[in-house]
Chains A and B, each alone.
Chain A
Amino acid sequence: MKIIILGCGRVGATLAMKMEEVGHSVTIIDNSNDSFRRLDPKFRGVKILGNGVDEETLRRAGIETADAFAAVTNGDNRNIMASQIAKEIFHVRKVVCRIYDPIRQSTYNLLGLEAISPTIIGANMLFDAIIGIQRSS
C-alpha cells in the first residue's frame, strides 16, 4: 500500500516506521524540517515539507495515487480539514484522522470520518491501570 502520513510528531514518525517495517511505501508531510529528525535514520520513504491543508502539497505527496491517508498533526482542526480534502476531493479509499477533543471526534465520526480520540483511549487505559492497582492491593 501507498500511505501518506500528515504530521511528523511522535505518533506520525512511529506510525511511518511501523508501516515501512511491514513493507508499505510511506510519504510523510510536515510544515517544519526539524520534525523529520524524529524519523529513524533507516527511514527510506519520502519527506515532503509543506502545509497539509493545501491541495498542492497533497498532490506533491502523491495523494492522487495513495491508498491510505492518516492525519496526525497536533491540530484537531487541521487534521479534520486535511482528512476531508483527502476524502472528498481526492477520494482516497482509507482516511483516518486523530482528534483529541472527544466531542469533535464523535461528531465527525457521525459525519463519516474515521476519527480516533487518544484522549478517551488514554483516559480509559489510565483508569483501568488505577482500578487494577486498587484491586490487587
Chain B
Amino acid sequence: MYIIVGGGGDVGYYLTKNLLRQGHEVLLLEKDTSRYNTLSEELGQAIYNGDACEARTMEEVGARRADVVIAVTGHDEDNLVICQMAKRYFKVGRTIARLNNPKHELLFQKLGIDVTVSPTKAILSLIESELPGPHFVLLMTLKRAGLEIVEMSIPPTSPVVGKQLSQINLPRRCHLSLILRGDEPIFPERDTRLLANDDVYALVTKEGEEELRNTFGTS
C-alpha cells in the first residue's frame, strides 16, 4: 500500500517507522525544513520537505495513487483540510485524521473523514482505568461494528456481587468478554460468579451502555 503521512511530529515519525517496518510504501510530509533535516538522516527517501495542506505538494508526491492519507499534525484545521483535499480532490479511498480536540469528532465525521483518532480521549480513558476504585471506562470504539469496549470495576455495593452470570439480565447486544480478579484472567461462563472489585471487560452498543452501568451499579 502507498500511504502518505502528513505532519512529522512524534506521532508522524513513529507511525512512519512502523508502517515502513510492515513493508508499506510510506512518505512522510514535513513542512518545517529544520525538522525535515533532522528526520531525513534516518528516514531517507521516506520523508519529503513540503506542506501536506498544499495541493501542489500532494500532486508532486503522487497523492492520486495513494491508498491511504493520514493527517497527524498538531492542528485540527490542518488535519481536516489534508483529509478533505485527499478525499475530494485526489480521490483517496481512505483518510484518517488525528483529533487534538476531542470535541471536533462529530464535525470530522459529518465532513466525510473516514476515521478519526483522538489521543487526548484515549489518554484520559487509560489513566481513568488505572485509577483505583469503582470506574466505568470506555476503552475503545469499534466504529464499523457499532460497539464499544468498556472496562468496569464492580463496587462492593453492586447488586451483581455474588450472582452467577446466568442470573444477570444484560442489555441486548452485550457480551462480557473477560473478568480480571486481581491478576487472574477469567473467561466468563454461565456459572461464573461475580465478586466485588472484579474488573469486567465487555462489548456493548452505545445505546446499551447506560443499562449496563445500571445493572452493574457502576457510575
Task: Give the B-binding residues of A (Cβ under 8 A).
Answer: 53-55, 75-78, 80-82, 84-85, 88-89, 101, 103-104, 107, 110-111
Contacts and interface: CB of A to CB of B under 8 A. Distances in A.
A78 B56 CA distance: 19
A84 B111 contact: yes
Contacts, number: 52
Nearest to A84: B111
Given A77-B78, A81-B80, A107 B110 contact: no
B88 A75 contact: no
A110 B77 contact: no
A75 B106 CA distance: 22
Tell me whether chain A's interface is mostly helix, strand or loop, or mixed. Answer: helix
A76 B53 CA distance: 10
B81 A55 contact: no
B81 A81 contact: yes
The listed residue with most A CB atoms (<10 A of its CB), out of B77, B88, B107, is B77
Interface string B49-86: 00001111000000000000000000111101100110
A103 B53 CA distance: 11
Nearest to B106: A89
29 contacts: A53-B76, A53-B104, A54-B101, A54-B103, A55-B103, A76-B53, A77-B53, A77-B78, A77-B80, A77-B81, A78-B77, A80-B77, A81-B76, A81-B77, A82-B77, A84-B80, A85-B107, A89-B106, A89-B110, A101-B54, A101-B55, A103-B55, A104-B55, A104-B81, A104-B85, A107-B55, A107-B85, A110-B88, A111-B84
